[in-house]
């Protein structure tokens, strides 16, 4: 993570280069030194989204099933997942955690303590203006500062983008890709968890996770954004954007971790620039 240090979250959400190695660790605060709250489980099942596209990073999500449930405590806690009808307006604050680089090519120094950074949502229309209209899909959500300075980074992929509603933490995104780290006008791009409620529930047939609809207040300023390739939005397109419904308020997290399939790497710069040309 680039921009800010903290240690209040203690979940490990990583998948080692391409495929899991058979084990996952929870309750970890530092990658070095003593971790008395560390809990390990074997990974028994990996479910990759069937429509994952390695070229565009669309549907960049997978499910891991652990060998047995874990006991929740102050260091291992469940998170609610954002429901299908969630709305994330521009400027809404979110938080990202991880052990990734603190800048492009700059590793997290010892003892490599878990980092946290607060970044606001950047609407998909504005994000398309930066990355190119075809690069940002409805399955993605962007977050970061347009002036740069705070972002997820290489090594953070698979980590959670969370948002707080009342007293509940809701996972809105999964770290996916970006151009560099914390560069101006290039916010981080995350898998939009709310797009996958049906798929997740189809894969998890018992002890399903709890989904909550996150509702943004006011009007989304992103609706007024336009640029080459992103034409002004019409009145008819606004229909239905402000509807919401009640959602399950009980969150479960049973032997499953939601994560991105790929790490943010410097080759993303080449890929995304080529998509824009």
Least confident of 4-13, 41-50, 172-181, 265-274: 4-13
Residue 133 has pLDDT above 50, yes or no: yes
**Is residue 192's pLDDT more than 80?**
yes
Strands 93-98 and 39-48, by their bridges, are unpaired
**Residue 171 falls inside a structural domain:** yes
CATH number, domain containing residue 126 = 2.40.10.10
Can you give the pLDDT at residue 237?
59
The pLDDT value recorded for residue 64 is 87
The domain total for the chain is 1
**pLDDT (0 to 100) of residue 185:** 97
Mean pLDDT score of the chain? 82
Q: Which residue has the higher pLDDT, 63 or 245?
A: 63
152 occurs within a structural domain? yes
The verdict on residue 142 lying in a domain is yes
In the predicted model, what is the mean pLDDT of residues 142-165? 95
Would you say residue 10 lies in a domain?
A: no
**Is 117 inside a domain boundary?**
yes
Residue 73 lies in a domain: yes
- The answer to whether residue 6 is domain-embedded is no
pLDDT band at 271 (very low <50, low <70, confident <90, very high): very low
Confidence of residue 248 (pLDDT cuts 50, 70, 90): very low
182 in any annotated domain: yes
Domain of residue 251: give its range. 23-276
Q: pTM value?
A: 0.82
């Amino acid at each position: 993570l680039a921009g800010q240090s903290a240690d209040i979250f203690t979940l490990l959400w990583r998948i080692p280069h391409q495929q899991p190695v058979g084990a996952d660790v929870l309750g970890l605060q530092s990658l070095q030194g003593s971790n008395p709250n560390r809990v390990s489980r074997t990974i028994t099942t990996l479910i990759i989204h069937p429509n994952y596209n390695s070229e565009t990073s669309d549907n960049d999500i997978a499910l891991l099933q652990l060998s047995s449930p874990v006991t929740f405590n102050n260091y291992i806690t469940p998170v609610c997942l954002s429901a299908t009808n969630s709305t994330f307006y521009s400027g809404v604050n979110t938080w990202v955690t991880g052990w990734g680089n603190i800048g492009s090519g700059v590793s997290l120094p010892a003892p490599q303590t878990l980092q946290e950074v607060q970044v606001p949502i950047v609407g998909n229309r504005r994000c398309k203006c930066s990355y190119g209209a075809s690069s940002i899909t409805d399955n993605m959500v962007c977050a970061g500062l347009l002036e740069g300075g705070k972002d997820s980074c290489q090594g953070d992929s698979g980590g959670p983008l969370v948002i707080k509603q009342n007293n509940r933490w809701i996972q809105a995104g999964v770290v996916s890709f970006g151009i560099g780290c914390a560069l101006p006008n290039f916010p981080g791009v995350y898998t939009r968890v709310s797009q996958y409620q049906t798929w997740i529930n189809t894969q998890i047939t018992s002890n399903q996770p709890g989904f909550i609809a996150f509702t943004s207040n006011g009007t989304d300023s992103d609706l007024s954004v336009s640029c080459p390739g992103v034409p002004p939005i019409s009145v008819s397109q606004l229909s239905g954007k402000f509807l919401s419904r009640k959602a399950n308020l009980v969150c479960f997290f049973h032997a499953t971790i939601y994560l991105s399939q790929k790490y943010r790497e410097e080759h993303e710069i080449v890929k995304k620039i080529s998509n824009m040309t």
